[in-house]
Amino acid sequence: MTSPLPDVRMSPAAAVGLVASREISTRVKSKAFRVSTVIMLVLIVAGILLLKLLSGGSGADQTVGYTSATAPLSAPLKAGGQAVDEKIDTVQVADEAAGRAKLADGSIDALLTGDGKSVRVQVKKDLDGKLANVLQLLSRQVAIDQQITALGGDPARFQAAVASAKFVEDQPLEQPYDYNGAQLGLGIAAGILIYLSLMINGQSVAQGVVEEKTSRVVELLLSTIKPWQLMAGKVLGIGVVGLIQMVVIGVGGLVAVTATGALPDLSLSAAVGTVIWLIVWYLLGFFMYSIVFAALGALVSRQEDVGGATMPALMFVIAGYVIGISVLPSNPGSTFVEVLSVIPVFSPTLMPIRLAMGGVPVWEAALSVVLVVLMIPGLIWLAARIYRNAVMRTGAKVKLRDALRAA
C-alpha cells in the first residue's frame, strides 16, 4: 500500500476516490494491463484484416469459356447464375483447343463445347455443384426455346413475357428488419468484447479483494474507512481501468474497419453507435457484476478458491454470451433472445449484440438500461452487507447465509 491511508475525517466520496485512484494508478502502470490491451487490440485488428482478405474477392464464383459456336449460351448462362446467387463470368476463346489449354492452366473453370444447340461442358477435373445446377437450368431453357421455335413461336418474346411476370406481395403485418452480414459480425464482436471484459475485470475485483484480505492490508484500511467505501473504490478503480482498455480497443477496431473497408455494407454511424453502446453496456455490466464479485470474493481467503466462489455469478455472464453467439447468427429475430436481453442479468452480454445488429425498438433498449440501473443500488446494499461481514474473516470459506445474517 503505497498511498497514505485516508484520514478518518474524509468524506465518503473522498475515501472512495482515494481507493479508486490507487487501483487505477497501480493497474494502469502494470505490465499485465499493457500486454493484455495490446494483445486484444492486435487480435481485433488481425480479425478485421482477415475478414477483409476473406471477403475481398469480388470476382466471379466461376469463369466459363465459350467458343463462337456456343456464344449464344453465354448471356443466358450468366442470367441463370444470377437467379441462384452464383456469379458467373464468361470469356470467349478462339476454339475448343484454346479453351482446353485455359482449363489446363486454371484460367477458366469450365468450357462450353459443341455446336450450341445443346449444353455440353468440359472441366479439368470436377464440375462445381452450383455451376452444375446453373447448367441444368440452361439446358432446360435451350430445350424450351427449341420447342417454341418448332411450334412456330418466338423464343425471345416468350422469354420477355416470362421475365415480366411478377407476383404481388401485400403489406406485411409487421415490418421486418433486414439484418446484413456486416451488422451480424459487428454484433458478435461486441458480444465477445463485453464477455471478455466482464470475465477479466470482474475476476480482477474478486482477486483483488482476496489479495488484500490474505495480506491483512484490509485490516489497516478498514480501521480508517468503511467496508462499503473500500469495496466501492475498488470496483470504481478497476472499472475505470477496464473502460480505458475498452475505449482503446473499440476506437482501434473502428479505425481499422474504416481504414480497410472490411465491412463495406456497414455505415460509419452504425459503427460509431456500436462503440458507444459497447462502452455503455460495459459500464453497466461491469458495475452490476463486479459489485457481486467483490462480495463473493470476500467469502474466501485463497486465490485458488476465487473461481468457485464467483462461478454462480459467472454462469449468467457465460450463459448470455453463449446464447447470443449461438442463436442470433441463425435467428437474428429470436423472440427468446429478445426477452432474455431485457432481463438485467443477461442484458450486458445480449443487448450489445442486438443493438449492433440493429432493429431493436427504442423502448426495449431503454427498458433494459433502466432495469439494470434500478438493480444496481439493491446489489450495492446486498454486496456491502456480505462484504462487511466476511472480509475480516480468514481461514475457511464463509458461508453466504452466515455473511448475510451476521451482525
Per residue in 203-254, pLDDT (tens digit) is 888 887 787 777 666 667 767 777 777 778 888 888 888 888 878 887 887 7
Q: Identify the pLDDT of residue 87.
A: 83
3-state secondary structure of 54: helix
Alpha-carbon distance 389 to 407, whole Å? 7
Alpha-carbon distance 363 to 114, whole Å? 64
- Alpha carbon dihedral 199, 201, 203, 208, in 10-degree steps, equals 170
Mean pLDDT of the chain: 80
Measured CA angle at 50 (ends 46, 56), to 5 deg: 140
Q: Identify the pLDDT of residue 296.
A: 86
For 22-87, where are the E strands, in sequence order? 62-66
Per-residue pLDDT reduced to its tens digit, 131-162: 888 888 888 888 888 888 888 878 778 777 76
Cβ neighbours of 341 (radius 10 Å) = 27
Per 3-state DSSP, the chain is made up of helix, strand and coil in percentages (nearest 5) of 70, 5, 30
Confidence of residue 60 (pLDDT cuts 50, 70, 90): low
Are 307 and 173 in contact, with CB atoms under 8 Å apart?
A: no
In this prediction, residues 372-388 reach a mean pLDDT of: 86
Model's pTM, two decimal places?
A: 0.63
Q: Which residue has the higher pLDDT, 352 or 218?
A: 352
In this prediction, residues 354-360 reach a mean pLDDT of: 80
Alpha-carbon distance 216 to 213, whole Å? 5
Per-residue pLDDT reduced to its tens digit, 36-50: 888 888 887 887 777
State the helix-helix crossing angle for 268-297 and 181-214, rounded to 10 degrees. Answer: 20
Q: Identify the pLDDT of residue 368.
A: 93
The answer to whether residue 97 scores a pLDDT higher than 60 is: yes
Q: Identify the pLDDT of residue 83.
A: 75
Q: Which element (helix H / strand E) includes 90?
A: strand 88-92
Question: For residue 197, which of 234, 232, 251, 249 has the smallest C-alpha distance?
Answer: 249
Q: Which element (helix H / strand E) includes 206?
A: helix 181-214
